[in-house]
A and B are shown apart, each in its own frame.
Chain A
Amino acid sequence: MYGGGFCFQTLNNNKMKFQYLFIALLAGATFTACTKENTPEPEPQPELKGNAEIKFDHVWGPTFGAWSVGQTMRHPSTGDTITFDFLNYYITNVKLTKADGSEWVQPNSYHLVKLSAGALATLTLNDIPEGDYTSITYTIGVDSARNVSGAQEGALAPSQGMFWSWNTGYIFVKAEGRSPQAPNGTFKYHLGGFSGANNAIRTTMLNFGGGTLRVRNNALPSIHLFVNVARFWHGGILLSSLSNVHMPGANASTLATNFRDAFTFDHLHN
């Protein structure tokens, strides 16, 4: 039964919601039990679902120049020479919104983008109700509750190497590479922090520029985003003065904001 399936999903992904739903169901059951007449429920319309992809096209600088892991680049504003070894980051709490404002919120929405070669990363969103969506909202980082809830599985498993062992919390963004301007020739930006002034959780909404993502049962549309990785050093950040970030704090917050602003909408592919 469709309704049952929905309950189960909610149970898995949101305890609070489940409790309320449970109360509602219980109330409903009691009500039904007390009522003599049996009004037949309307047959639920089976809602078709489809999948969609987010394609992250990592580029260099405001002109969206070609870039890839391992490629040595010159920063367009600071002039620093920068080569990435890898770039990992969490994309979580994905939400798609239609023109009428109605939303699809992905349940249990935790994705880890791992880029260790090339420039393109793809993330698949499953079981989206069919419809025409006009914007996407997502978070770079992991919500505070999951940071302090013990060992998780999947994208959030500590074995992914994105969890600080000595200072509990997720590394939301892990960027490492080399630069001759850095004091020891390398840079390591491990960005995280889920509370107070050190909160490095960043949420963004990107409009599809008037276009619509057409989610259909038999199609696989994609959302293409540019990720300008040179943006880390926005605001004149020099590798000579900032090459290592290993804990939450002001530097992590600044870099997290810069990285949030690295993402722009490119185009849809329906």
Chain B
Amino acid sequence: MHTHRTVRKTRSLWWLLLLFTACRQEELPPPADQQPLPVPAHFPAPHYNFASNKPIPAGIALGRKLFYDPITSVDSSISCASCHVQTLAFAHNQSISRGVGGKLGVRNSPALQNLAWVPWFNADGGILHLDVQPLAPITDSAEHNFNLPDLFDRLRRHPQYPADFEAAFGSRTVSDRPFFLAMSQFMTQLVSAGSLYDQVLTQKATFSIDQAAGYALFRTHCTSCHSEPLTSNFAFARNGHQSSTNDEGRKRVTGDQVDFGKFRIPSLRNVALTAPYMHDGSLPTLEAVIEHYTQPDYPADAPIGTGIALNSQQKNQLKAFLQSLTDPAFLQNERLSSPFQP
């Protein structure tokens, strides 16, 4: 009897054989439209399955237009970029952002970066695939307040979009799959891997004395959740922050009381730019966040518990390290900025 392993081995052998055969034939240059995958060498393998949606320039360009175009909201007043601003690491400077008609949302707008490494989305982890993530803001009444059939109709009647869909997917048809795949092709380009921290990791630079001390503190107290190099393990935890919005956190999607008050651990990349902080945007500064972790509102999950002991010098060192996570090239990357004339 074939075990699973044997079958797999056999299959690998056949692939090898095929590869061998292929190698003996003339080597072809890569197709002209091939885009290198946005995967930094010092990052782990991405979670997103690029084999099922390989970014190409026309697909990225379409996703970029859709990201910056308010056509995706019911009254064409709000685009994704309204609450995800490139110079703020695609976060927003409001505690809770407002959607169509000034309606207040429910949570702080998160930074968008390194999304191909994120296994689930939203602060409660309710969305399990990057491709379907844009469905939430587009249909939420406090965000774009729109629906897909009407949005697709609007894109079909647009003078340019059908041609953009054709360039990216070979057909002028505007429908679910090409729409969401284009969004993902652009969103996976939002890669932040050029901070001083990254340069230190890749041995191209060194920290200042304060940053180095802050990094040591970070590794002692923070990396069990904010694991390197993505600075998050994407698990769910209570961080001891009393919600000002009565948000039940992960319980909202699991219905399980044990998940009450747990939120997805965010990446800290570009954290100096993503104020205000926490799921409710109630902490205005990095100092306030560091202060919170020395004295949480209620006992947090381990290892924070009743608080991390830090003296004022250590707080400054930790802050200096957190500032080294800022990636100026990412914030200014023209390929990620609006394709529309201001």
Contacts and interface: CB of A to CB of B under 8 A. Distances in A.
A72 interface: no
Interface string B272-315: 00000000000000000000000000000000000000000000
A36 B255 CA distance: 66
Chain A binding surface SS class? loop
Interface in B1-25: 10-11, 14, 17-18
B152 A150 contact: no
B176 interface: yes
Interface string B229-257: 00000000000000000000000110100
A104 B15 CA distance: 31
A26 interface: yes
B5 to A, nearest CB: 15
Interface string B164-187: 000000000001110111001000
B50 to A, nearest CB: 12
A159 B156 CA distance: 15
A218 interface: no
A158 interface: yes
Contacts of A19: 11
B125 to A, nearest CB: 10
B52 interface: yes
A168 B176 contact: no
A153 B126 contact: no
B255 A152 contact: no
B161 to A, nearest CB: 16
Interface stretch (B38-46, B131-139, B201-209, B260-268): B131-139
Contacts of B177: 151-153, 157
B174 to A, nearest CB: 10
B176 A166 contact: no
Contacts of B135: 158, 163, 165
A150 B122 contact: no
Q: Taking each of A150, A158, A169, which has the highest tally of chain B beta carbons within 10 Å of its own beta carbon?
A: A150
Contacts of A148: 128-129
A153 B129 contact: no
A167 interface: yes
A151 B177 CA distance: 5
Nearest to A250: B255
Interface in B25-76: 52-53
A70 interface: no
Contacts of B147: 159, 161
From A148, A163, A166, name the one whose CB has the most chain B CB atoms within 10 angstroms.
A166
B127 A23 contact: no
A150 B47 CA distance: 13
Contacts, number: 76
Contact of B18 (A26, A152, A163, A167): A26
B129 A149 contact: yes
B102 interface: no
Contact of B180 (A150, A161, A249): A150
Contacts of A249: 255
B128 A158 contact: no
B14 A151 contact: no
Interface in B194-236: none
Nearest to A27: B14
Contacts of A248: 255
Given A150-B52, A153-B177, A165 B136 contact: yes
B329 interface: no
A159 B10 contact: no
A169 B127 CA distance: 9
Contacts of B132: 150-151, 158, 163, 165, 168
Nearest to A156: B176
B140 interface: yes
B163 to A, nearest CB: 21
A165 B140 contact: yes
A166 B11 CA distance: 39
Interface in B113-164: 122, 126-132, 135-136, 138-140, 147-149, 152
A88 to B, nearest CB: 14
A247 interface: yes
Q: Lowest 10 A-B CB distances belong to which pairs?
A: A150-B131, A159-B148, A151-B180, A168-B128, A157-B176, A167-B126, A165-B135, A165-B136, A150-B129, A167-B253
20 contacts: A23-B10, A23-B11, A148-B128, A150-B53, A150-B130, A150-B180, A151-B131, A151-B180, A153-B175, A157-B175, A158-B135, A158-B148, A159-B152, A163-B135, A165-B132, A166-B140, A167-B253, A168-B128, A247-B253, A248-B255
Interface of B: 10-11, 14, 17-18, 52-53, 122, 126-132, 135-136, 138-140, 147-149, 152, 175-177, 179-181, 184, 252-253, 255
Given A148-B128, A150-B131, 10 more contacts: A150-B132, A151-B132, A151-B176, A151-B181, A153-B177, A157-B175, A158-B132, A159-B176, A168-B129, A249-B255
